[in-house]
Structure 1
Amino acid sequence: MIQIVPIDTPTLGDRSYLVGDGTVAFVVDPQRDIDRVLDLAARHGLRITDVFETHIHNDYVTGGLALARATGAAYHVNAADPVSFDRTPIRDHDVVEVGERMRVRAVATPGHTFTHLSYVLETPDRAPVVFTGGSLLFGSTGRPDLLGPSHTDELVRAQYASAHRLTGGLPDDTEICPTHGFGSFCSATQSEAERSTIGREKQVNPVLTQDEESYVEQLLAGLDAFPAYYAHMGPANTAGPAAVDLAEPRTADPAELRARIDAGEWVVDLRSRTAFAAGHLAGSLNFGLDGSFATYLGWLIPWGTPVSLLGDTPEQVAEAQRELVRIGIDRIESSATGEPEAWSGAAPLGTFPRASFTDLAAVRHHRAVTVLDVRRDSEWAGKHVDGAVHVPLHDLLHRLDEVPRGEVWVHCKSGYRASIGASVLAAAGHRVVVIDDQFDQAENAGLPMTA
């Protein structure tokens, strides 16, 4: 019996796959922390013989090369990709026999990248399965704009042709196993689906239900900003990422933490936004592990800035460290755990108030405050509070001078990004209030809105 085991990385919105026949296995698009894959293979009694990359990834650093070296597996990367390491080159129509019962066929599906491949698994006892990477997703397709605006039009049209070529050559009961589309910014749109088939996609996916021009127009109109750290992923994956070291970072005392903040390094508090607002090491930044931690930290941080981590427990720091290596932040300078008083020493803790949109409506009747909306452009365009200042969170560090002095009430859609923004502003000397509330409550609170 063939087993297909998804390996989810929900914080980045991706899936890898371990596929085995009871004895041997192959892996598709492994993440950087390959211990998860090795442990899973060991639990199932599988020997990994092949590793397949659908494309040179833009949203994470691959573990493919390290996994192939650790297991002795063949590492299948498109022959056209200009990589700097030894690989087993693979091309459109190539077939790889994995064990005695699994046949993997490569299909060129350019669109997300120029050299993107999908892989069709054919076995004697089940319908085909296609691993589509960033090509055909559940109800969507991969973004065509990550390689730069000069390539977007060519790639979006290639994506359309690839989807039709792929679905035209496979039966409707073929299961689809994409890498992206579970919250990744590599997906053009998001879907709640957990499973799909070629037949279902023919009914619901715009790339298969619309003509080419309608698909192109709709997809391009819906694209929004993507994380800045994506620019570093392709070069890292082309160079060949080494295995990672997840050893516990050394512990820093209050003097060292203060010195790091004063030197312009990032000291990142992993606790919830509620805990951070109640008391934190002044100058630290709040990227809580209860949200899209690595995505937003990687998006905002000036690349190469040294990072230290603060958490409730060593396990919290270890989880953050694992997330950061997935996007190429391999070195953690120091860490500290416990209570914020232990990190601050004799210095007073930083605090700021939490509030609701109802609180904001009440305050605006009595005094002037700045409302700062840190949502993305598309969210702002949909609806926003009258008179608010708009600076998307990912632009905030570069546009601090656009935020008025005085009391600033910061909001996003649900509170997570607002807390990041508030911590950035507080570290820069602003007096902030974080609105820890759902944006759809703003209108209910009586705040005037502009659509």
Structure 2
Amino acid sequence: MDVLSFRTPGLGDQTYLLIHEGRGVLVDPQRDIGRFLDAAAERGVELRFVLETHLHNDYVSGAGQAALRTGAELVMPAAAAPAYRHTPAFHLEDLDGGGGLTLRPVHTPGHTPEHTSYLVLIDGAPVALFSGGSLLVASAGRPDLLGPERARSLARLQHLSLRRLAALPPGTALYPTHGEGSFCTATGAGRLTSTIGTELTDNPLLAIDDPDEFADTLLAAPMPIPAFYRHMGPANTLGVPPMPPTGVPELSEPAGQVVDLRPRRVQAGGMLPGSYGIEMDDDFGSWTGWLLPRGEPITLVAEPGQEIDEAVTQLAQIGLDTVQGVVRDLGEHATQTYRLTDLDGFVRLLREPDAQFLDVRMPAEWEQVRLPGAVERFLPDLFAQGLPATLDPERPVLVACASGRRAAIAAAYLAREGYRPIALDGAGVPDVAATLDKLN
């Protein structure tokens, strides 16, 4: 048996392809299924099953299309009841993969009510577990994505599910779908894969015996929920269309929402008026889906020669299929500007008497390090609620986060709204605080 892992870093997720004696099992595939099917074809693998552990909240699934393309059997948790043809996975009702391969569904509610993990047996012996959003490496899937009303009930169910999985043989390999960088984890997940034995030793959640204490721990400091999550579950229940083409036409004029994905230093020198600045990176799609209104046409702005296939792919992974094209020549229209500065320059400006400072980190980050006089507004709230009334558009606005990425996105937004932003680049609020302590 071999297990290939496909990482999607911007969403913090992994898809797996299990291979045994020429037969393949695809687990929790992202929508861009070409990379998985190509890997199977290169190895001469016949795809036998496509497994889904749950109705995903963080991306639209490629499972249905992968099954249609290959003729594989699509297996979904029995309680998911999606509106398309599938094989329901019932608790402990084995699926025969042939050649000694058996897949055993294990109902593990908690992350979602229908959540099902899959235990892999070879010749009757358990060897691996695909745990989806149940037991994660040093963590567990968060139980609050379906709303606060159900969070505590699901957290208690997660406690039972983790103990069910922890009772498996210690040598069983653990392959979770959610991992580091995912907003589906209850706490900071570390490594990507593990074993049951390692988790028994290292996972702090498995040391909590009381279900209510466990629920308190999971719900004590919940991470924010990206705005696009609320659209993922319904899409995965009703069915996801094929992946759109990643090649889009070049446009002379933008249409709809304009998203500038050029490097931030290029953006700062001039953007199209009214555009959003989200520099291309692994999390480009996540930030675009979180910050911008959904369902409207999108025009990308890129440098000459800059590849945009990955940008279109990331947007499609969360169901944003409205990219109209790309603009590469801004001509004389790039009049929306902002400034970038390094740590020393930022601290000098911050110490001026009339300085105004906007901190766009998450609330949990504010609790760790705060600067006196800062206006605090988490980046997505800045877009959803608008700019704080305390900020004076006639004076420069200093903007910082933890590293510079969110600050640059915020600075582009402030410039869009007519403010004069200066973003800290390459450093963050903890660095500012440390520098000020030294100066004082």
TM-score (norm 2): 0.94
Secondary structure at the residue paired with 2:398? strand
C-alpha separation in 2, matches of 1:355 and 1:15 = 36
Is 1:323 aligned with 2:314? Answer: yes
| 2:194 match: secondary structure | coil
After superposition, give the CA deviation of every residue in 1:279-330 in whole Å (9 maximum; x if it has no partner): 3333221111225211111111111122111223566211100011100001
Partner of 2:302: 311
Q: Is the 8 A contact 1:291 1:416 kept in 2?
A: no
Asked whether 1:375 is paired with 2:366, we answer: no
| Counterpart in the other structure of 1:283 | 274
Residue 60 of structure 1: CA displacement? 0.3
Quick one: percent identity of the two aligned structures? 37
1:106 is paired with a residue whose SS is strand
**Aligned partners of 1:144 and 1:297: how far apart in 2?**
25
Counting only pairs closer than 5 Å after superposition, residues 287-306 of structure 1 correspond to structure 2 as: 287-306=278-297
Q: Residues 104 and 121 of structure 1 are in contact (CA less than 8 Å); yes or no, is this contact kept in structure 2?
A: yes
Question: Bigger CA drift: 377-386 or 130-139?
Answer: 377-386
Do structure 1's residue 442 and structure 2's residue 420 form an aligned pair? no
TM-superposed CA distance for 1:51, in Å, is 0.4
Distance 1:145 1:158 in 2: 12
How far residue 107 of structure 1 moved from its aligned partner, in angstroms, is 0.2
C-alpha deviations, 1:143-182, integer Å up to 9, x for none? 10001111001000000000101221x1001110000012
Q: CA RMSD in A?
A: 1.8
Report if the CA contact (8 A) 1:412-1:439 is conserved: yes
Q: 1:193 to 1:346 in 2, by over 3 A?
A: closer
DSSP 3-state at the match of 1:252: coil
Determine the C-alpha separation between the residues in 1 that align with 2:99 and 2:291: 48
Q: Who is 1:333 aligned against?
A: 324
Give yes or no for the alignment of 1:407 onto 2:396.
yes
Amino acid at match of 2:402: K
| Alignment deviations for residues 191-213 of structure 1 (CA, whole Å, 9 cap, x no partner) | 33133111111112122111223
Q: Which amino acid in structure 2 is aligned with residue 164 of structure 1?
A: R
Give the drift of 1:348. 4.5
Contact 1:188/1:219 (CA < 8 Å) preserved in 2? yes
Matches for 1:51-450 after TM superposition, within 5 Å: 51-124=50-123, 128-168=127-167, 170-212=168-210, 213-253=212-252, 256-257=253-254, 260=255, 265-312=256-303, 316-337=307-328, 342-343=329-330, 345-403=331-389, 404=391, 405=393, 406-436=395-425, 437-446=427-436
Q: Which amino acid aligns with 1:400?
A: G
Partners of 1:60 and 1:206 in 2: CA distance: 28
Q: In 2, distance between residues paired with 1:279 and 1:181?
A: 37
Distance 1:431 1:172, change over 3 A: same
Q: Return 5+ residue gaps in structure 1 as ranges.
A: none
| 1:375-404 deviations in Å (ceiling 9; x for gaps) | 111111222111010111011123324151
On the 8 A contact 1:14/1:181 being kept in 2, the answer is: yes
Checking the alignment, whether the CA contact within 8 Å between 1:249 and 1:332 is kept in structure 2 is: yes
Q: Give the partner amino acid of 1:445.
A: T
CA contact (8 A) 2:22 2:46 kept: yes
Q: 2:126 & 2:164 partners in 1: Cα distance?
A: 18
Asked if the contact 2:369/2:430 (under 8 Å) is kept, the reply is no
Map Cα deviations across residues 326-347 of structure 1 (whole Å, 9 max, x no partner): 000012112123xxxx22x333
**In structure 2, the residue corresponding to 1:83 is in which secondary structure?**
coil
Letter in 1 for 2:314: E
* 8 Å contact from structure 1 (residues 138, 181) kept in 2: yes
Q: How many residues align?
A: 434
Moved more, 69-78 or 307-316: 307-316
Moved more, 185-194 or 128-137: 185-194
Partner Cα distance (1:47, 1:354) in 2: 52
Counterpart in 2 of 1:10?
9
> Which segments of 5 or more consecutive residues in structure 2 lack a partner in the other structure?
none
Distance of 1:7 and 1:76 partners within structure 2: 20
1:116 CA displacement: 0.3
Change (3 A) 1:7 1:448: same
Contact 1:22/1:44 (<8 A) preserved: no
SS in 1 for 2:220: helix
Mean Cα deviation higher: 220-229 or 394-403: 394-403
Q: Does 1:49 align with 2:48?
A: yes
